[in-house]
Amino acid sequence: MSQKSIIDRLAILADAAKYDASCASSGTAKKNSLGGKGIGSTEGMGICHAYAPDGRCISLLKLLLTNHCIFDCHYCINRKSSNVERARFTPQEIVDLTLSFYRRNYIEGLFLSSGIIKSSNHTMEQLVETARILREEHDFRGYIHLKTIPEADPELVHQAGLYADRVSINVELPTDSGLVKLAPDKNAQQIEGAMGGMKMAIRQAKDEKKRFRHAPRFAPAGQSTQMIVGADAATDADIVGKASRLYDNFRLRRVYYSAFSPIPDASAVLPLKRPPLIREHRLYQSDWLMRFYGYQPSEVMQATEADGNLPLDIDPKLAWALKFRERFPVDVNRASREDLLRVPGLGVKAVNQIVASRRHRTLRLDDVARLTVSITKVRPFICALDWRPVMLTDRADLRALLAPKREQLELFSA
Amino acid sequence: MNALQPVEHHTHYAIHLLEPDDFDAWRERARALVQCDVPPDRVTWIEPGGSGDLFADGERQLPVRSDGAAPVRASKRFVRLAKNAILHSDPDRFALLYRLLWRLQGNPQVMEDKADPDVRRIEELDKNVRRDSHKMHAFVRFRLVETEEDGPEHYVAWFEPEHHILRANAGFFVRRFANMRWSILTPQESLHWDGEALVEGPPAQRSDAPSGDPTEDLWRKYYASIFNPARLKVGAMMREMPRKYWKNMPEASLIPELVAGAQGRESQMVAAGSLEFDARPETLGAIETALHACRKCPIGELENSSVMGEGPRGAQKFSGLMIVGEQPGDQEDLAGRPFVGPAGQLLDLHLERVGIDRSSAYVTNAVKHFKYVQRGKRRIHQSPAAKEIDTCRWWLEAERSIVQPKLILTMGASAARAMLGKTVSITKARGAPIMLSDGSELWVTAHPSYLLRLDGAAREEQARMFDADLAAVKARLAELAN
């Protein structure tokens, strides 16, 4: 069979990568190409170079080295038993694509993943080789994110960390039983073992960096993972619990949630319907509550409804506030920062501004309105110098008042 | 204020600035004005190309400031915001900055009052400029220009920033593309980097920039492929990548067709994998009827009939054992019953030898239709594909939920796959139970047709192992019965 052209293979292998939620190119060590031979820089904050009509940012060239796979995970389009068209790139071809895109300022770098070919070690070697050519032969100083294969030799995975800014290992599914059912070739213990090993390696490299200035950098942007939402019966409470354990146990930078989307040639055991995008969104919101708002995982779980899932019509912060009305109203002139962060509609920035402003004046409702996006949403939950929401907070129909009106289909909002 | 020099009352000062983005020049003027005690409402700031002012045509001489004038104070935060906000295209920005500087002299804390309208405004300007800068880092698209053969490659971009941000952001591109030769052209000015020095140039026109680059085809292909039509969220895209930037981004021309085609592509994705089963039948009879009509996979399209499992219909006679084979063969298809051909006869022989009563077991197949290729008058057996097994699994699960076996014996790899959803090695898995999620047990063994293909010692060896597996199943059934 004749080899497909680069552009045809790019179409196949980018298409195969579109189910991966991660796109971030942030949080790595600063570097630039001054004084070097190649190109590239990272300045801490990642840049989204384009947005696709699915609203997701394109920051990295996200590709699979190959979509051939010896595994047979039901949710995965590349599984062995799928009839999808197959293709593969050589490491050199990926390098050339990355560099020519980077020179034109289309991307921040490369996010490389792969189906498992021949063996886990063979696949990992190819991934590492791609990163090596970029870094060593082309002195590339942009961002590299490598997906590591949990079953691969730890030494190979270690090399990946030396070339990459970020490494990730997918947990795939929120429960072990889901993994057994949908990813029969994968093993939860092995995945978590690999995450644990990566955590240790990152920590060790950090220690060495403190002591020796020339110690090599090791995955300076840390490790992340991805969970598929909606392919099995796991509830939001299960997912939040799993995510918080992962954050705690493995010091992950991010847990990505990927709403399961129907894949062509799907396996018979999977749901075939539109991906639960709102659910994915609510999970990201709950993730933020834990990472930036000081909520404990148990508190996010308190915001779930009887079926263990977060409400879809309102955000988890509002859901929590409606369940714990005795904690409100919060006095914007006296309350602690922690309590202010619990007010639905007040973001971290607004809270910081309230705390800064109240040193200079006693805040009225108008003052708060200037610092927030929507005072209507905030009003029932706060007191200000000229405002007490006594009646509002106790109203039984508060949820209905605050829940957003049903929106038109997104298709027509453009 | 302690400006000692008398200031003419009601005098207006018009300050002409030479550059729209020169913070240092503004600062020098503003400092002098503050020291001369000129209140904000008596100063008009005019940027290059900006309109003059009603009260002053030319720049009136400022009063001379005294040597003893107090130094002008500004908080660090003010300086940081002002440096960025001055890049904004709002003609009132200089006046706003001066007003704030003026107020800072009386109230050094003014910048910390986040609710103050002037503070809000400077933060807003700062935010707009930061956003524009960020979009410039993101949306500048270089194109490779044809150059003489030996010269270094030259990359040129055309960009239309909303604010005066080009010079302020040159450093970003220098740091990123330090060893590349590039130019960024804008309607206001241009920048050129040759790998060593940065040179500013005059305003440019769109036609000065190159119009295409073969790599853009690859990039557009990537953009179209990485987009998941099942997740269409146009609003989110528009928020981050407003239409005004599209005209200079090669990939943006694809957006309308990608959006328009998304619903179609999504339903195709769903349809391509879709198996629209109705509700699961509740009786074996209903399954049998429905099976005849099943065309979920290509096997159903062949000329054959479906073969349903069979077993005792009364609970007393059922031993709790379900035996699952691969698929009906030629004779099974003709008879409409499982395991009646050569493999079935061999199975019966072994069951009898071990002492399992076939009539007490429910016997069925993983795949319900006979898959074959026609060779002359003969129909040659074909193994089902993994996809076909996975599809037919739905029927097997339906049978299983009605029969409720305590122990399932699968024969051959296809049958094991139908139960587990993955391919297992018979050699490794045989001889020990695999616990299933409903508490029943799965035992795997070889398929009797495999034995039929062997001869001599190999066949004897396999027959012995097959018997051993059956014996283990029999023993386990007895344990489960107690």
Pair B77, B35 in one domain:
yes
Partner-chain residue, chosen from B120, B269, B422, that has the shortest CB–CB distance to A263: B269
Domain-embedded: residue B246: no
Give the pLDDT of residue B58. Answer: 53
**pLDDT for position A409:** 41
Average pLDDT over residues B452-481: 92
State the average pLDDT for chain B. 88
**For range B464-473, the mean pLDDT:** 94
Residue B7 has pLDDT above 60, yes or no: no
Asked whether residue B289 falls in the same domain as residue B436, the answer is yes
Say if residue B178 is in the same domain as residue B118: no
Write out pLDDT tens, residues B127-156: 999 999 999 999 999 999 877 777 788 999
Q: Which of A97, A273, A367 shows the shortest C-beta gap to B115?
A: A367
Point out the residue among A81, A103, A354 whose CB comes nearest to the CB of B155. Answer: A103
Please check the confidence at residue B300 and state whether its pLDDT lies above 70. Answer: yes
Given this model, what pLDDT does residue B49 score? 78
**Domain boundaries in chain A?**
6-223, 324-402
C-alpha distance from B331 to closest chain A C-alpha (Å)? 29
Pair of tokens at residue A52: 């696709």
Which of B151, B186, B208 finishes a domain? Answer: B208
Residues B458 and B411 in one domain: yes
Half-sphere exposure (Cβ direction) of A77: Cα atoms closer than 13 Å: 26
Q: Stretch B358-378: mean pLDDT, rounded?
A: 91
How many structural domains does chain B have?
Answer: 3
pLDDT score, position B361: 93
CATH number, domain with residue B369: 3.40.470.10
Domain that holds residue B340: 277-481
Instruction: Measure in Å the smallest separation between the Cα of B226 and chain A Cα atoms.
Output: 5
List of chain A residues with pLDDT < 50: 407-414
pLDDT at B389: 86
Alpha helices in A134-232, H assignment, sequence order: 154-163, 176-182, 188-211
Contacts of B171 in chain A (CB under 8 A): none
Same domain, B350 and B467: yes
Rounded Cα distance between A383 and A329, Å, is 6
Rounded percentage of chain B residues whose pLDDT exceeds 70: 92
Q: For B218, which residue in chain A has the nearest alpha carbon? A: A7
Query: Is residue B375 domain-shared with residue B415, that is, in the same domain?
Result: yes
In chain B, the percentage of residues whose pLDDT exceeds 90 is: 54
How far is the alpha carbon of A265 from chain B, nearest alpha carbon, in Å? 4
Higher pLDDT: A61 or B284? It is: A61
Which H, E and C letters describe A117-157, residue by residue? CCCHHHHHHHHHHHHHHHHHHCCCCCEEEEECCCCCCHHHH
Using the Cβ of A333 and the Cβ atoms of chain B, whether some distance falls under 8 Å is answered with: no
Greater confidence, A397 or B233? Answer: B233
Pick the residue of A33, A42, A56, A106 with the most B CBs within 10 A to test the interface with B by mutation: A106
Q: Which residues of B touch A356 (CB under 8 A)?
A: 112, 114
How far is it, in rounded angstroms, from Cα A354 to Cα A348?
10
Residue contact B115–A55, C-beta within 8 A: no
Q: Check residue B439 and give its pLDDT.
A: 85
Which of A32, A52, A104 lies nearest to residue B142, judging by beta carbons? A104
Q: What pLDDT does residue B4 have?
A: 44
Q: Beta strand pairing status for A166-168 and A223-229?
A: parallel
Residues of chain B neighbouring A259 (CB-CB closer than 8 A) = 231
- Please tell me which of the candidates B112, B233, B269 has its beta carbon nearest to residue A360: B112
Shortest Cα–Cα distance, A392 to chain B (Å) = 25
Cβ–Cβ contact A32 with B under 8 A: yes
Nearest to B223 among A47, A50, A270 (CB): A50
Q: How far apart are CA A30 and CA B176, in angstroms?
A: 11
A411 in B contact zone (CB under 8 Å) = yes
Instruction: Point out the residue among A56, A263, A370 whose CB comes nearest to the CB of B120.
Output: A370
At residue A19, the pLDDT reads 82
Identify the H or E element spanning A20: none
pLDDT at A392: 56
**Is residue B233 one of the residues assigned to a domain?**
no
Which DSSP state fits A61?
E
In a domain, B87, yes or no: yes
Instruction: Report the run of H or E that residue B321 belongs to, with start and end.
Output: strand B321-325
Side chain identity, residue A207: D
- Range in A15-19, B181-185, B337-341 the model is least confident about: A15-19
What's the distance, Cα to Cα, between the start and end of chain B in Å? 102
Residues 52-81 of A with CB under 8 A from B: 52-58, 61-62, 72, 74, 80-81
Residues B58-99: pLDDT tens digits? Answer: 555 676 666 677 889 999 999 999 999 999 999 999 999 999
Q: Is the pLDDT of residue B182 over 90?
A: yes
With a cut of 60, say whether residue B3 has pLDDT above it.
Answer: no
* pLDDT tens digits, one per residue of B199-232: 999 999 999 988 888 999 999 999 999 998 878 8
Pairing of β A254-259 and β A330-331:
unpaired
Mean pLDDT across B112-124: 89
Listed in order, strand segments (DSSP E) in A206-336 are 223-229, 254-259, 330-331
The residue of chain A with its CA nearest to that of B138 is A49
Q: Which helix (H) or strand (E) holds B249?
A: none
Do B283 and B416 share a structural domain? yes
- pLDDT at B415 exceeding the cut of 50: yes
pLDDT given for residue B1 in this prediction: 41
Task: Clarify whether residues B116 and B187 are in a common domain.
Answer: no
Higher pLDDT, A24 or B161: B161
Residues B449 and B356 in one domain: yes
User: Can you read off the two tokens belonging to residue B144?
Assistant: 């490779």
CA nearest neighbour of A225 among A201, A200, A261, A249: A249
Place of tokens 């440019």: B204
Report yes or no on B171 lying in a domain: yes
Question: Looking at B109, B133, B157, which one is the last position of a domain?
Answer: B133
Same domain, B173 and B283: no
Question: Residue B10's pLDDT band (boundaries 50, 70, 90)?
Answer: low
pLDDT classification of B121: cutoffs 50, 70, 90: very high
Distance CA A367, CA B460 (A): 90
Distance CA B442, CA B430 (A): 10
Which chain B residues are within 8 Å of A355, Cβ to Cβ?
none
Nearest CA among B368, B400, B365 for reference residue B297: B368
Task: Determine the residue of chain A that is closest to B395 in CA distance.
Answer: A268
Mutual angle of helices A120-132 and A154-163, in 10-degree steps: 20
Whether B193 and B337 map to the same domain: the answer is no
Q: pTM above the 0.90 mark? A: no
Chain A nearest C-alpha distance from B393 (Å): 8
Question: Which residue's structure tokens are 């059912």?
Answer: A181
Question: Which residue in chain A is spatially nearest to B136 when comparing CA positions?
Answer: A49
Q: How far is CA B202 from CA A203, B211, B433, in A?
A: 51, 20, 80
- Residue at which a domain ends, from B208, B239, B262: B208
pLDDT at B408 over 60: yes
Query: Which pLDDT does position A414 carry in this prediction?
Result: 33
Distance of alpha carbon B482 from alpha carbon B477, whole angstroms: 9
More confidently predicted of A24 and B464: B464
Write the DSSP assignment of A388-412 as a string of letters.
--HHHHH-TTHHHHHSPPPPPPGGG
